[in-house]
Structure 1
């Protein structure tokens, strides 16, 4: 498996599809908290038939090594290092949840390199009511595996197969505790809501109607701040890439093939 050593971490990645550029600039798929690059299996396989596609396991996740981080910006720096290594200049970041926070960081810090942006079940600022903030704070005191299980269980819409949810819980719980908890803190501190109005790149925002991890109301607040955003709502929970893979793939496909402005 190809990998790259970056600042004390070894990042495992996939890089497939044609290099001639006829299908458009590369798509870079970025997974979310406690997940791994295989969250994008459906989308990656679909788009690799016509354009270059890249995905990675973020540091400490999946098959990548590395300690946790203090900020989402540190994870974004890893993505930039990988793209520099692969000699990719222009690209389209496609980020899910925490990956969407990374995608927003990339376009804000490197606007000249991002052609357009796709945000899946993500937000620009995490905000809580007093009661929900207290509940989240208490949840961090739970035994680690229970903490992970509670958070992953609630990410799926009612009716999603329980055996599949158990598989995702087991995979997430295999992520080192230090990585899980520091990334959790980095997400809670993430706030670019006052800056996204500067983003000129066309943006697709796709959200699950039943998402209670990052509620629809918060996404709509973010979407309203974007100067050029298309919003699509899908009947799913927080895990759109695996809950409704075909629908998500189709929506992304329509957006990335739109003529450039």
Structure 2
């Protein structure tokens, strides 16, 4: 049963496998966890690619996407939310994939409940504390929150006051939704920005758990990203001793968007080697 303090997460679920060759199907689902300011919606194309081989469940973490807003952004709390969802869906064991902050949620879940995780893919993050680095992003989102733009062009203009990189602005704009207000039909944030900012120290901190996760692990990193540098690998292997590290060329931190086909193939090849037949 879900923990009384857990949040009931929104999720996308491809359902049971009903396509592809029977010998290639996996009895275990894959749970996908997005990064900071992302959502399950960002993973729709990947869900479609993996669906022939397994059930895929993509979650909206608390204060993100369509999930409820709730105090606290600790990795203990966020991994408990995901575990509560697995209990709700009757999933006893699963493969798990997490990107960035979602990677730390995945690592936390694997360390706290290793019996529930058959294998894990960690996308461009290490189980270490990072420096603060989202001040410009938060300032840009505040501009939109206060400005209440009526269209996405105006929203982009507000975001651009703090964020020069257009792909980042497009990503941030996925958090906007239509809302009726005194100003008419405007775009507002669907994320719990106040709670996320209040819990940001936890977000950039280490994942939860004390013991290493000894299960099979694939760490995918972008060649143009600094999040999983060679210097960090000794610390990473203390927590993930079985990790195989693969670098995707011409990819940054959002490697699943920069190189979607290469990312999908790397994940599928890894999961295929740890597949459990139906």
What interval of TM-score do these two structures reach, taking the shorter chain for normalisation? Answer: 0.7 to 0.9
- TM-score, reference length from structure 1: 0.79
**Superposed displacement of residue 6, structure 1:** 7.1
Q: Is the 8 A contact 2:17 2:55 kept in 1?
A: yes
Of 245, 252, 266, the residue aligned with 1:237 is 252
Aligned twin of 2:204: 188
Once the two structures are superposed, what CA deviation does each residue of 1:57-114 show, in whole Å capped at 9, x if it has no partner?
1111111122241411101000000000000001011000011101111111111111
Aligned twin of 1:159: none
Per mean C-alpha deviation after superposition, the further-off stretch among 12-21 and 94-103 is: 12-21
Aligned twin of 1:78: 81
Query: C-alpha separation between the residues in 1 aligned to 2:76 and 2:108?
Result: 6
Of 173, 194, 216, the residue aligned with 1:202 is 216
Query: C-alpha separation between the residues in 1 aligned to 2:60 and 2:84?
Result: 13
Once the two structures are superposed, what CA deviation does each residue of 1:114-137 show, in whole Å capped at 9, x if it has no partner?
111110011101245xxxx6xx49
Query: C-alpha separation between the residues in 2 aligned to 1:125 and 1:147?
Result: 31
Structure 2 residue 35 is matched with structure 1 residue 32: yes
Aligned twin of 1:254: 269
Q: Is the 8 A contact 2:97 2:106 kept in 1?
A: yes
Query: C-alpha separation between the residues in 2 aligned to 1:113 and 1:10?
Result: 19
Q: Report matched runs for 1:128-143 at 5 Å.
A: 128=131, 136=133, 139=135, 143=139
Q: Is the 8 A contact 1:103 1:119 kept in 2?
A: yes
- Structure 2 unpaired stretches of 5+: 145-158, 177-188
Per mean C-alpha deviation after superposition, the further-off stretch among 39-48 and 141-150 is: 141-150
**Superposed displacement of residue 146, structure 1:** 6.6
Q: Is the 8 A contact 1:6 1:81 kept in 2?
A: no
Q: Is the 8 A contact 2:124 2:222 kept in 1?
A: yes
Q: Is the 8 A contact 2:98 2:123 kept in 1?
A: yes
**Superposed displacement of residue 194, structure 1:** 6.8
- TM-score, reference length from structure 2: 0.74
In structure 2, relative to structure 1, the CA distance for the partners of 1:101 and 1:108 (3 Å cut) is: same
- Structure 1 unpaired stretches of 5+: 157-161
Size of the aligned set, in residue pairs, is 240
**Superposed displacement of residue 221, structure 1:** 3.4
Once the two structures are superposed, what CA deviation does each residue of 1:154-182 show, in whole Å capped at 9, x if it has no partner?
9x8xxxxx3x4322122347223223313
Structure 2 residue 104 is matched with structure 1 residue 101: yes
Aligned twin of 2:67: 64
Any idea what SS the aligned residue of 1:204 has?
strand
Q: Is the 8 A contact 1:27 1:93 kept in 2?
A: yes
Aligned twin of 1:116: 119
Q: Is the 8 A contact 1:68 1:178 kept in 2?
A: no
